[in-house]
Structures are given as structure tokens and as C-alpha cells.
A and B are shown apart, each in its own frame.
Chain A
């Protein structure tokens, strides 16, 4: 027995041709963001069914190139592509020709022989996605380049906030911790501004660049926020001996997010992986206020939306018949 479901078309307004790449939130307009979130929401409905697979990108190839460790992002992109019926190839630097000294350009050119439709790249060095975009024909999605950008993380965070609080415009989001080394913070700040949310950066002075917007060194500044977005202390990106904070102990004492520092109703987010007991108290991480799992869930549908948007030019395909067992 089969029945036909229809992905509702009215949620997917006709759009201008999508951007060819998603390298930075800075390349997006507010309309782009709203379209992507709406598309993600329509995909979320498809994920409530038993058969979660859509035929939309059948025959397309999504290449995941991960030159840096990742759990959430790599699994989420891979699953997103599979749920849209695309073929996937996932290359990790460990065990690949990268270990033999192959340059990023050569790796990209080599894999381009398979004619991927989308290349998703994570790389420790800023500018890697731009290089890949310059040497291949594929649509390129930046899945994190050094301290620069992680645009799909920002989109999924917007999606999770919108789902939880019903809106984005006019919200106040406090971003707490190591902003300096955080591509998540850079992307999210741009995205929040794009949709009309207010932001405050809170953390130790050397880790909160004044150029990025309103900031406070006082953890009390989170009191007024609807959402407290906690960043990971990024030891691996810090220069040896740079002394950004005197010690993690002092950081936790002054800026760690504890239940006592939160007021009822505030939501807490974290891009993961968490350093429990450093930037976030385990009691907060495990509380109902934490949206960490919602963020991961949002990641899947938002990445489905991004792949879909990049690969379907002109008006979004609607009325796609989906077979459900």
C-alpha cells in the first residue's frame, strides 16, 4: 500500500537564482536567509515521516572534503545529501593523498574528475573554500574555514532559535566566550544582524574584538538576553604562550555559564563540542534551557535546504511526489 505525499509548495516562494556558492554569511541577503529557513522548515515536515528520503537530488553528487575533525557537520552534510537522494563521497584528510603532501588545489582538481555538483569543504586555513571555488566547477559550501566562517552553522542556529522562540527579529542574543577564534561567532553575528536581532559579545577583553560590535566584559550583561550562546574555548587555535586568559580556572570562574547566572526562560545554545565544566556548567548543558540537541536536528534540515537551494535554480521545484511506504 502506497500513498503519495506532496511537499507543500506555498512555503517555497519563487526566488531569484540562488547564489552559486555558500562561502560566507556576508554573501547572503535577508531574503536568502528567509528563503533557506522556509525551505528547511518544509524539509523538516518530510523528516517526520517513516520514509525520510526525498528524490529531489537523485543522480547528483555531493562531495564532502573534511580536512579538520568534525562530528556534527560532516555527519549532518552527509545525511542531508542522502535524504535528498544524492550520491555522496566523503574524503577526510587522514588516510587520503593529503597525507602524501598533495596540495588542496590538486586534491580539488583530482576529485573534480567525478564532476561533483556540490563540494562541501572544511579546512583549518582561511581561504580554502575560495581556492576550491576558483579551481572547480562545483557549487562550494564552506563547512568551516579556520577562524573565518561557518555559514551553515549560523543558519541552523537561526532555525533553532526561530523554532524555539517563534521569531528572530528583535531578539537579544548574548554570545559568550572566545569570540576571537570563533568562525561560529563571526557567521552568527552577521546572520543575526541580517534578520534584525540584537547582539552583545561577552568575554575576556583579548578574546572579544571591539570591531565586531557591542561588547561587555561583565557576565552580568547576559541578564537581558533571550538567548545565551556559549562558545567553546578553542585551545587548538590559540597561539602558544599568547596568554589570552591567565588560566581556564579564572575563565570559568568569571565567564562560565552556570544555572545561577541564568534567569528563568533564557535559552542556552552551544555549537559543540562542549568543554563541560569550562565554558558551560554540566547542569546547564543538561537542562531544558539548553537547545544543543535542537541545534543538531536543525543542522540536518538546514543543510538539506542549502544543498537544494544551490542545485535548483529559478523557482523551487514544488509538488514533488514522494513515495511513502
Chain B
């Protein structure tokens, strides 16, 4: 059974004249691409349209569509903030062909009934396929393991208590040992609560000046070190979510070199912004973990470039307007990201020369797929069509009206970005056209 569920299609299409870039397949050439019944059927020059609809993609980039290992769809419980339909429409607009939804909903996804219900709904509603992660512990309370075996059989895409750490090292050890029967990734939110209590932003010069409670780098990296030690000791793989601190990256790099099967993800906001931005006290810059120093940001970019961090994850976290229209200190953590990820990273990393376009495309697609054990979107004859068309020359201003998400708590509101997703094909179906 595939862990991904959603609408699929058998569309016929010819994409003509795009620069086709699939770093993993070693393709970077201007070619035509034909899709028959949702499957890539031909790559070449001057392909016959076969009566298919033709997309003139002259000057555009055609790449494997993106995979987001970390999204909050707020369903069930907060459908006012996001639904399966709206969240996956946002994903499609962001160029994604697959996303993984976190289980910290209300109620928490910790039972097979709930999981099956979500998967059934996604089959009809999801504009791009979704995988639903299940909780590691019942109600994410950190006390009792969920029935991971049955949840995996029912289609759990991953296991995570995201939103909070598995505080007990002993319990996490059991989860790692037991998870060997599921073959699904264990994705960990690394936070030492006794160090982060009362924290609203990165602990440093800016938090000292603003008087905001500090959430120190050590609050993450201490936990990262613990998770990596447990992963090494149990010889089980782990995926470390939304890494933000230099020390965390250094722990991950050392563990990978020592043979620990550990992958990591970083978010566009941590890769593009620093705690200096917090001086505005804009609640849309408040997230967990917080934006860190310029040095941390540089370490994340370097880790993404070299592959220590193989995945970009948006940690798309919708919040209602009334929740965010409050004083900074009262605002909840979380920002949206699905619809801006590519443009933000293209604008802030690729254009300034910090990251190659090919590397970015790999870290948005093959990297996250590999990290979460999902099939890699690829551009090859016979592969299902999971494709994104990108206009690198286009610029656009981020406005509330741009979003398909039900929430608009973007950290980029008002900013002008370069690069635009013009078409997304997910699971053989045109899921988005600008």
C-alpha cells in the first residue's frame, strides 16, 4: 500500500521547449516531454503532440515536483485554519506533488480509525497526494507508545510527536527499537523543554535587547545529540526535523560520518532569515524553533549545500488571523510556507549565489523523498508524471490574496520574490496552473 493518498490522474500532455533539470537523473537540457495517461512517455526534441494538449514552456524550467516532509493540515480540529483540500491546493501551487501531514491535530492521529478516516477523505479531497504521519505516543503525551505496527499497516507515512519532543530518553529508545517492525521513518522534534520554557525567540543579543524570553540553540542541539546517540545505539534510522542551530548541524554531520542513519531537514524561513528580523515584533516571524543568528543560518545553508541536511521542509503551520493578530508575546508559534518555499529559496539562496539551482531542486524533491522513504519524483520515461514548471524570470509580491491556504500567516507578506511555479503535475494529473 502506498502511504500517499490523493487525487490521481491519467492526463495527456506535451511540454514543449522547457529546460528540463533532474539532478538525480543527470538531465539538464532543453527538450520536449510527453505524458501519456499520467506517465512520462517520451523525452526528446520535436516530439509529436499525438493530439495532446501542448504547453509551450519556452524559457521555463521543468523539474521533478517537490516533496514536503513536514506540513500541518490542521485537520481534524482546526478546519478554520486549513483543510485537506486547502492545504493540498496550497501544496500544488507551491510545486509539490507529495506532502506529509503531521499528527498533532485535535484529536491527535494516534489510532488506526482516525488514520483510515483521514486517508479516505484525502482520496477525494487532496489535490496532491498526502501521507499522514501518526504519533509516536498516545495523544503525544510522551507516556505510552501508539500501536505502531497496526498504524503502519493502516498507512502511516511516518511516526512523530512533532510539536513537542519525546521527552523521555528511555521511551524514545523503546520507540526506536520497536519501530524496526514498521519500516517507516521516525521523525523527531528536538527540544529540551527545561531549556526552552518561556522562550519566544532565539536566545542571543536580540532577545536580550528586546526582553523576550530566549529559546537557546542548546535547547535544540542538546536534544539532537541525545537522539543521534540513541539512533546509533539502537542502530535505527532517525529523521531530525526543522534543524535551526549550527551545533545541531555539527552533531548530525559527525553522526552521519560515524555511520548513524540520520537525515535532517531545514525550513525556508531558517535558511533565509535571522533573529535580527524580530525587532519588528511581527507575530508572523514567531515559530518553533525560532529564527536564529546569521552564523546559524550560514551553517544551515552550508549543510543543505553539502547534503548533511538533505531536505527542505516548510513546517507549513497555518494559524487563524485572530490567533496571530495579538502582541508578539501572546502569539502562537508557526508560519505558513507551502506556497512560497521555492521562490523564497530561489530569491535568497540561488540568486545571491549561495546555492546552485540544481542543488535546491534536489533538496526540494529527491532529498526529502529519500529522507522519508518515499518514491522519488523523477524525469524518466516510464515514471509517473510528478513535475513542476518554474518561471525563474517572474517576480511577484507576496500578498494575502495570493494564498490558496486558508491561513495567511506568512513570514514573507509584502516581500517581492523571484521565481514562480507556473504548473504542477502530481500523480499524473495537472494539479495547478497559474
Contact digits for B189-229, partner A, Cβ 8 Å, 1 yes 0 no: 00000000110100011001111100000000000000000
A127 touches B327 (CB 8 A): yes
How near does chain A come to B385, taking the closest CB pair, in angstroms?
A: 45
Asked if residues A126 and B212 are in contact (CB atoms below 8 Å), the reply is yes
* B281–A127 touching, CB < 8 Å: yes
Q: Which residue of B lies closest to A212 (CB)?
A: B208
Could you tell me the distance between the alpha carbons of A212 and B212 in the complex, rounded to whole angstroms? Answer: 13
Is A303 an interface residue when CB atoms closer than 8 A count as contact? no
Question: Chain A's nearest CB lies how many Å from the CB of B204?
Answer: 7
Check if B325 is an interface residue, CB within 8 A of chain A: yes
Give the contacts of A273-303 with B (CB-CB under 8 A).
Answer: none
- Out of B198, B205, B283, name the residue touching A127 (CB < 8 Å): B283
Query: Does A309 sit at the interface, judged by CB under 8 A?
Result: no
Rounded to whole angstroms, the CA-CA distance of A149 and B322 in the bound complex is 25
Q: Is the CB of A125 within 8 A of B204?
A: no
Find A126's partner among B204, B211, B322 (CB 8 Å cutoff). B211
User: Could you tell me which residues of chain A, from 88 to 111, have a CB within 8 Å of some CB in chain B?
Assistant: 103-105
Among candidates B204, B211, B212, B328, residue contacting A130 with C-beta atoms closer than 8 Å: B328
Are B197 and A125 interface neighbours, CB within 8 A?
A: no
With A146-B211, A186-B211, A212-B209 as contacts: A126 and B327 at CB distance below 8 Å: yes
A127 touching B328 in the complex, CB below 8 Å, given contacts A147-B211, A183-B211, A211-B204: yes
Closest A residue to B279 using CB positions = A26
The verdict on B330 contacting chain A, using a C-beta distance below 8 Å, is yes
For the complex, give the distance between the alpha carbons of A186 and B325 in Å: 25
Which of the residues B198, B200, B327 comes within 8 Å of A104, measured between beta carbons? B327
Query: Does A209 have its Cβ within 8 Å of any Cβ on chain B?
Result: yes
Q: Which residues of chain B are near A149, meaning CB under 8 Å?
A: 211
Complex alpha-carbon distance, A145 and B327, angstroms: 10
- Interchain CA distance A103-B323 in the complex, whole Å: 10
A105 and B325 in contact, given A130-B281, A211-B205, A239-B197 (Cβ under 8 angstroms): yes
B185 to chain A, nearest CB (A): 35
Knowing A239-B197, A239-B198, the reply to whether A131 touches B208 (Cβ < 8 A) is: no
- Residues of the B chain whose Cβ atoms lie less than 8 Å from the Cβ of A242: 198
Partner of B209 from the list A103, A130, A186 (CB cut-off 8 Å) is A186
Nearest B residue to A105 via CB reads B325
CA A212 to CA B322, docked complex, whole Å: 34
Distance in Å from the Cβ of B43 to the closest Cβ of chain A? 52
- Given A126-B212, A148-B211, are A103 and B322 also a contact pair (CB < 8 Å)? yes
- Interface flag for A222 (CB, 8 Å): no
A211 touches B329 (CB 8 A): no
B326 CB within 8 Å of chain A: yes
**CB-CB < 8 A to A123: which residues of B?**
327
Closest-CB distance, B349 to chain A (whole angstroms): 28
Does any Cβ of B come within 8 Å of A128's Cβ?
Answer: yes
What residues of B have a CB within 8 angstroms of the CB of A212 in the complex? 208-209
List chain A residues, Cβ under 8 A from B322. Answer: 103
List A138-193 residues whose CB lies under 8 Å from chain B: 145-149, 181-183, 186
Contact B212 A103 (CB under 8 A): no
| Distance of B363 from chain A, by nearest CB (Å) | 33
Scoring B211, B279, B329 by chain A CB atoms within 10 A of each residue's CB, the highest score goes to B211
Give Cα A149 to B197, complex, Å.
Answer: 22
Contact of B210 among A104, A105, A126, A128 (CB under 8 A): A126
> Quick one: which of B278-334 are within 8 Å of A by CB?
279-281, 283, 322, 325-331
Q: How far is the CA of A147 from the CA of B205 in the complex (A)?
A: 15
Known: A105-B326, A145-B327. A126 touches B198 (CB 8 A): no
- Are A125 and B209 closer than 8 Å at their CB atoms? no
**A205-252 residues at the B interface, CB under 8 angstroms:** 209-212, 239, 242
Point out which of B322, B327, B330 has the most chain A C-beta atoms below 10 A from its C-beta.
Answer: B327
A128 contacts B197, C-beta separation under 8 Å? no
Q: Could you list 10 examples of A-B contacts with CB < 8 Å?
A: A26-B279, A126-B328, A127-B281, A127-B328, A130-B281, A130-B328, A147-B212, A181-B211, A183-B211, A209-B208
- Extra contacts, 19 of them, besides A103-B322, A126-B329 (Cβ < 8 A), are A104-B327, A125-B328, A125-B329, A126-B200, A126-B211, A126-B281, A127-B281, A127-B329, A130-B281, A131-B325, A131-B327, A145-B327, A147-B211, A148-B210, A148-B212, A181-B211, A186-B211, A212-B208, A242-B198
